[in-house]
Structure 1
Amino acid sequence: MSENYIAIDWGSTHLRAWLYRNGQCVDSLQLSYGVSRLVEQTAREVFDKYIEPWRKREALHVVMAGMIGSDAGWQTVPYLACPVSLHELSAQLYEVAPLVWIVPGLHTSRNVMRGEETQLLGAMQLAPASCYVLPGTHSKWVRVANGAVSDFSTAMTGELHHVLMSHSLIGKGLPEQSEDPAAFQAGLQYGLDSPSLVTRLFEARALRVLGELAPESVSEWLSGLLIGAEVAAMDAVENVTLVGGESLCRRYRQVFEKAGVTVSEIAGDTAFQQGIRSILDARR
């Protein structure tokens, strides 16, 4: 397969694409046209407008991963059942246009993922581990054994934080939020000590009303509480590899270190790019 190709991470809120020539990234773009924000366009129309111009010189291979393969995306692509070797992804690509493929997601009996499987494939090659945590709107905890994904869980930590700050009494009437490491640390200790959130969430408001938490630090305290509770609620692990963005991984690293868990880290984009490259290499 050619060293010239296009890699696309097409999620719910954003489309990110990278143009590779001779194995090197020569151009990229980021658009707010995730599958939930197509604004009366189809995914194919967005592709033709923004990605197809890169293919005028030659019919480049395109590999896409993420929610573009969901029922809200370009075409519904079947999930692969776990346990599964991620090396199978290259043979299970779903072609939606000439030389344009979507990577299938993964599923267990009670869980699904799309997009993370490509990051995991890259992470497994660059940073081998038995447990990966991919922080995000819906954080994934993935168990790997003998090169295969054996099981995974999802925590809606990021979405819950957004909902509580934007649509609940906790976030109502607050000033602009600011970074507060001390508030984050205080919240995460609460979360680690009491992962059952039902009786803890209201304290984000009570502590502020009682003057023990600055109004502009509620978001930080709540973030610590939620991430701490997430880590405490999952099965005990001795070491994990974080896969994601620097800022969010830094928060999770603090929680894991406080919980006595050894942590390593790889950037989500680095893992994704390696995953796409591996999929294409396997098709040569």
Structure 2
Amino acid sequence: MNGNYIAVDWGSTHLRAWLYRDGQCVDSLQQPCGVSRLAEQTVRQVFDRYVEPWRKEHAIPVVMAGMIGSDAGWQPVPYLACPFSLYQLSAQLCEVAENVWIVPGLKTAQNVMRGEETQLLGAMHLAPAGCYVMPGTHSKWVQVDNGVVREFATAMTGELHYLLMNHSLIGKGLPEQRANDDAVQAGLQRGLDSPSLVSRLFEARALRLLGEIPAESVSDWLSGLLIGAEVAALSREFAINNVTLVGSESLCSRYRQVLAQAGITADEIAGDAAFQQGIRSILDARR
């Protein structure tokens, strides 16, 4: 294949895509048209509206990853069982239209991922590591050995934060939330010291009522608590002393703080850079 292609990260909430010409990114887009937000549109209609115009008269290759391969997406693409070598992803693509492919996700006996496998492949090329931590709505901790994903765990940290702030007593009646680094740090330490969340979550409300944290800082304190608990639990489960973070700078910064407090060193790579490198590596392997 030549250097003309389209990389698509199509998740639950957003469609993101990058157009490459001669190996260089020349255009990108982001639309709130994830597979859970299609409204009255079909997946194909959204694709034809936003992605197809980039192809023009030439059906240049499109490689998509994420929830687009789920039963809510274009079509269900089976998970690949772990242990699995990420170097074999290129041979497992599912073609859903002419020169349009979906990358399959990975599974273990008790876990699944979609989209992260592509980021992992890219991260392996850009920042080789034995353990990757991928913060987000559903954070992933992944062990990789010579390109083989052997085991991974999922923490619903981001989703739990959203639910508690929007649909529980913790977030009820709060004023507009504002950034507060001290609240984040206090929450991180609390979660790291006491990761049993069942007995700690209510503190987010009690400490606010008792004046220990400002009402506009509950979100940051709770975020810290959840991230701290995640790191405390999964760093012990994976028995690691070094990780590579893959994600946005703002979210990774909170993980860097608590990892350092736990005595774990952390490298970092941007999630978008890892994803785009992953797509590039898949296409390179098909040449």
**What displacement does 1:146 show?**
2.0
Give, as a single letter, the amino acid of the residue that structure 1 aligns with 2:81. Answer: A
Query: Does the residue aligned with 1:173 lie in a helix, a strand or coil?
Result: coil
Question: Could you tell me which of 246, 251, 255 is aligned with 2:254?
Answer: 251
CA distance in 2, matches of 1:224, 1:95: 42
CA distance in 2, matches of 1:85, 1:42: 33
Question: Could you tell me which of 276, 279, 284 is aligned with 2:282?
Answer: 279
CA distance in 2, matches of 1:91, 1:209: 56
Give, as a single letter, the amino acid of the residue that structure 1 aligns with 2:257. Answer: Q
**What displacement does 1:222 show?**
0.3
* TM-score, with structure 2 as normaliser: 0.98
* Correspondence 1:215-234 to 2 at 5 A: 215-234=215-234
Task: Give 1:26's aligned residue.
Answer: 26
* Correspondence 1:170-185 to 2 at 5 A: 170-185=170-185
**What displacement does 1:84 show?**
0.4
Task: Give 1:102's aligned residue.
Answer: 102
Q: Does residue 238 of the first structure (1) align with residue 241 of the second (2)?
A: yes
CA distance in 1, matches of 2:18, 2:186: 40
Task: Give 1:199's aligned residue.
Answer: 199
CA distance in 1, matches of 2:158, 2:182: 20
Give, as a single letter, the amino acid of the residue that structure 2 aligns with 1:72. Answer: A
Query: Does the residue aligned with 1:71 lie in a helix, a strand or coil?
Result: coil
* Correspondence 1:150-189 to 2 at 5 A: 150-189=150-189
Deviation digits for residues 197-218 of structure 1, max 9, x if unmatched? 0010000000000111100010
> What are the ranges of 5 or more consecutive residues in structure 2 without an aligned counterpart?
none
Task: Give 1:211's aligned residue.
Answer: 211
Task: Give 1:140's aligned residue.
Answer: 140
CA distance in 2, matches of 1:34, 1:149: 27
CA distance in 1, matches of 2:62, 2:195: 43
**What displacement does 1:39 show?**
0.9
**Number of aligned residues:** 284
**What displacement does 1:147 show?**
1.6
CA distance in 2, matches of 1:19, 1:8: 9
> What are the ranges of 5 or more consecutive residues in structure 1 without an aligned counterpart?
none
Query: Does the residue aligned with 1:89 lie in a helix, a strand or coil?
Result: helix
Query: Does the residue aligned with 2:101 lie in a helix, a strand or coil?
Result: strand
Task: Give 1:66's aligned residue.
Answer: 66
Q: Percent identity?
A: 77
Task: Give 1:270's aligned residue.
Answer: 273
CA distance in 2, matches of 1:12, 1:231: 25
Deviation digits for residues 185-237 of structure 1, max 9, x if unmatched? 11111101111100100000000001111000101110110000000111231
**What displacement does 1:145 show?**
1.0
CA distance in 2, matches of 1:146, 1:283: 20
**What displacement does 1:57 show?**
3.3
CA distance in 2, matches of 1:22, 1:2: 7
Give, as a single letter, the amino acid of the residue that structure 2 aligns with 1:106. Answer: L
Deviation digits for residues 103-157 of structure 1, max 9, x if unmatched? 0000000000000000000001110000000000000000011220010000000
Query: Does the residue aligned with 1:19 lie in a helix, a strand or coil?
Result: strand
**What displacement does 1:59 show?**
1.1
Superposition RMSD on alpha carbons, in Å? 0.6
Task: Give 2:55's aligned residue.
Answer: 55
